[in-house]
Amino acid sequence: MKFLDQAKIYLRSGDGGNGVVGFRREKFIEFGGPDGGDGGRGGDVVFEAVANLNTLIDFRYTQHFRARKGGNGAGANRTGAGAETLLIRVPVGTQILADDQETLLADLDRPGKQALICRGGDGGRGNAHYKTSTNRAPRRADPGWPGEERWVWLRLKLIADAGLVGLPNAGKSTLLAAASAARPKIADYPFTTLHPQLGVVRLSAAEEFVLADIPGLIEGAHEGAGLGDRFLGHVERCAVLLHLVDGAAGNVVDAWRTVRGELESYGAGLADKPEIIGLNKADAMTPREASARRAALARASGAPVFLLSGATGAGVKEVLRALQDRITATRRDAAA
């Protein structure tokens, strides 16, 4: 299934049904009077987050959604049938934005959450509403109110507890494969990962978290270089970021600063999120190189640096434990 995290669709709720002009006509009843019923209500357009979806690919082929019109009224004071609600199912983590792509209409961040985006029109009144002592045979009936219509943007932000960031070929996909049952594509060329990947990391029977791997960032990603920085939206909800630096590539400090600069340029509070730094590919460095580069990265970042190797598994458990401890603390604070 192709991954798609953004789509533009057209919505229109149903028009209300028309009221009618009707009069009671029965044998032996001389003055029946008006009995025109009201129109039914038009259908609403409602979004619902469901847990078994993980992409917006369906909205590439179906882009127009229209709810049904309410039924017209009838004689004998019968109200028209109300139209059914048009329910649109989207993945958990989907944001609904107005056509300007800035105004947030709804954030469906948990399964079962619903959002009413377009309200159906009310039904028109029948002539029975306009009967008065001076107008006993009104011939006025109102049409139904029109529904609402709008273009909206759907933007998917995956729900994950921890996010993997770093330059291309930093070993993010290798670490995800080593830490979880996910099987992302792994190769020795840049931009192997073209769309986000999720994996569930289980440290024990009672401890687990979701780890997200996104495409690599390069200098100028916020200006469109490489694959851009739009995929950073998938780690906005994460409690902690794991910043992987390729220790075998040379200047680890410049690599760390490049990614930090892209996080700051993207905004959305990513630069302020808790960060755990991992110096990856320890198996491709000598002990002296690993020690020197780890110390240089610690001085530049002012934070402890974990030495690990996703290929051999060395140091991976320590990094995962640090992530789990941070996530547990965040969950505890949120519950409090």
Confirm or deny that 195 is annotated as ligand binding.
Answer: yes
- Cβ neighbourhood burial of 150 (10 Å; 0-12, 13-18, 19+): middle
Residue 128 near residue 136 (C-beta atoms within 8 A): no
Lookup: tokens for 1: 């299934």
Dist CA 34 CA 136 (whole Å) = 8
Q: What is the predicted pLDDT for the residue at 31?
A: 78
Confirm or deny that 8 is annotated as ligand binding.
Answer: no
Residue 256 near residue 167 (C-beta atoms within 8 A): no
Confirm or deny that 291 is annotated as ligand binding.
Answer: no
Tell me the residue ranges of DSSP E strands in 194-295.
Answer: 197-204, 207-213, 240-246, 275-280
Q: What is the predicted pLDDT for the residue at 21?
A: 94
Q: What is the predicted pLDDT for the residue at 189?
A: 62
Q: What is the predicted pLDDT for the residue at 271?
A: 84
Report the candidate in 322, 323, 174 with the shortest Cα–Cα distance to residue 248.
174
Residue spans of the chain under pLDDT 50: 1
Confirm or deny that 286 is annotated as ligand binding.
Answer: no
Rounded to the nearest 5 percent, the helix, strand and coil shares of the chain are 25, 25, 50
Return the residue matching tokens 């495409």: 215
Q: What is the predicted pLDDT for the residue at 141?
A: 93
Confirm or deny that 166 is annotated as ligand binding.
Answer: yes
Confirm or deny that 22 is annotated as ligand binding.
Answer: no
What pTM was computed for the model? 0.78
Kindly list the structural domains of the chain, giving each domain's residue range(s) and its CATH number in brackets, ordered by start. Answer: 1-156 (2.70.210.12), 162-335 (3.40.50.300)
Q: What is the predicted pLDDT for the residue at 187?
A: 67
Q: What is the predicted pLDDT for the residue at 151?
A: 96
Confirm or deny that 199 is annotated as ligand binding.
Answer: no
Confirm or deny that 312 is annotated as ligand binding.
Answer: no
